[in-house]
Chain A
Amino acid sequence: MNGWLSALRAIVAREALRFLHQRGRFLSALVRPLVWLVVFAAGFRAALGLSIIPPYQTYITYEVYIVPGLCGMIQLFNGMQSSLSLVYDREMGSMRLLMTSPLPRWWLLFCKLTAGVAVSILQVYAFLAIAAGFGIVLPLAGYLWAFPALVLSGLMLGALGLFISSTVRQLENFAGVMNFVIFPMFFLSTALYPLWKMAESSRLLRDICALNPFTHAVELIRFALYQSLNGWALFWVASGFLVFFLLALWGYDPARSRPGRD
């Protein structure tokens, strides 16, 4: 078992180091949600009225509403970024090093996943600290409660990225992931508007949002930030993680691989 933990530590440390070396990635991971928070939310503040819905017990500003969605967005982008780097690793050959380790393949992929989650959580807390600097301060205990929620949502979104990376053969095809995964998942969720607001314009859109696993990741984080547990969201996110991870294991099954060149 010590050998398994050695591999976990090494893979997480390598991913963290890689992330710290890529300053541009760190910066864009923070700037992206901050632009939404400072520019988009400020503009929408007047246009969008929000009623009091759980977990909120009082009126909140729009900036406060979208913070959990932006935390989810950071993890969604990070999951896809990890997926992109896996495709790159595969093209460059370094994925072979991982896959020829004598440890079980599911454990190696889980280690990769955990490394991505660790990096995404670092980004989320950096974002929350900057948001606090802009005056969006959440209950102190909420920051602690959010941690397990972020682990689970990170695992689910990372597993989705892992599965996608197993299906994308070339780096060039990755742009499609942005168009067909990130944007629909983000916009068809409760990250920007609550479900009831969506239902006002379209029942169908509301139903799609309710089925979107990213909606439940956002709600799990939202409730945790206010020290409450959304059981239904927890069930969705945990199930989503299991399904995506099993699909990723299937995607990385050597029986599905194709030979390379001589």
Chain B
Amino acid sequence: MAEALRLEHVSLSYGARQALDDVSFSVAPGRFCALLGPNGAGKSTLFGLMTRLLVTRSGRIEIAGHDVARAPRKALARIGVVFQQPTLDLDLTVARNMRYFAALHGLSGRAAAIRIDAALDRLAMRERAGEKARALNGGHRRRMEIARALVHEPDLLLLDEPTVGLDAMSRKAITAHVHDLAEDGLSVLWATHLVDEIGPGDDVVVLHRGRVLRQALASDIAGPAGLAEAFLEMTAEGGGA
């Protein structure tokens, strides 16, 4: 079975600025993988490349076995994305937002309705389907965006700092929901700079200044001092150089 995500020697630079430098890592099917890095590490740039909002000639990115550069449409069809910035149409209802997204993935009519209901059920959002997105609180908006990213039944769910701006309770709930999705067999890449969103059994890729410092199980990286300490030590001034 192909890996859900595979990056090989991916680099990207803009003039003198090296945004990503020889990044290689992979996400196995059904795993929750945290892409852990401080602000400016290159996480969003990496997301841009995986979703083909950006392109690079250096390196190779495969999603569920499809090369993003050679078969972008097949690759994009296999991912669900939750961007850091909200991408909801606040004037539309939850259901209309979902239908719009489904149509962008070529789904309509009954087939779309069944999948939308299933995705909303999965995130416990079905009873909110008739409400306008504007009426939802931050946590529910995020949940809806996650549900929306699941409508086309992707192999890989990409989330770029999805808990930014949420209160502690919503953050915990969203993190738990996505861990549950991974336990159900969905592969997840979760970008964050907050170590408390990562469980000991999760895979972790530490990204700093555009370079991968380490990929291992969270408990292995943590060591006796804990993940937060280990992360701070790795990314301390000069740590990534």
Contacts and interface: CB of A to CB of B under 8 A. Distances in A.
Interface of A: 2-4, 6-7, 9-11, 14, 17-18, 21, 92-94, 96-104, 108, 254-255, 257-262
B14 A259 contact: yes
B44 interface: yes
B229 interface: no
Report, nearest first, the 8 A-B pairs whose CB atoms are least far apart. Answer: A3-B106, A10-B103, A93-B85, A6-B108, A102-B77, A101-B104, A259-B45, A102-B76
A43 to B, nearest CB: 40
Contact of A9 (B54, B79, B108): B108
B91 interface: yes
Nearest to B17: A259
Contacts of A21: 91
A257 B47 CA distance: 13
Contacts of A257: 48, 53-55
Contacts of B52: 99-100, 254
Interface in B166-216: none
Contacts of A104: 73
Contacts of B231: none
Interface of B: 12, 14, 19, 37, 39-45, 48, 51-55, 72-74, 76-77, 79, 81, 83, 85-89, 91-92, 99-108, 161
A108 B54 CA distance: 17
Contacts of B37: 262
Contacts of A258: 14, 54
A214 to B, nearest CB: 32
A259 B81 contact: no
Given A10-B99, A102-B77, A257-B53, 11 more contacts: A10-B108, A17-B92, A93-B87, A94-B88, A97-B104, A100-B51, A101-B104, A254-B52, A258-B54, A259-B48, A260-B45
Given A259-B19, A260-B45, A3 B51 contact: no
Contacts of B92: 14, 17
Contacts of A261: 39-40, 44
Contacts of B45: 259-260, 262
Contacts of B48: 257, 259-260
Contacts of B106: 2-4, 6-7, 102-103
Given A9-B108, A10-B104, A104-B73, A262 B87 contact: no
A23 B55 CA distance: 39
Contacts of A10: 99-100, 103-104, 108
Interface centre among A2, A103, A259 (most CB of B within 10 A): A259
Contacts of B40: 261-262
Nearest to A89: B87
B73 A96 contact: no
A147 to B, nearest CB: 26
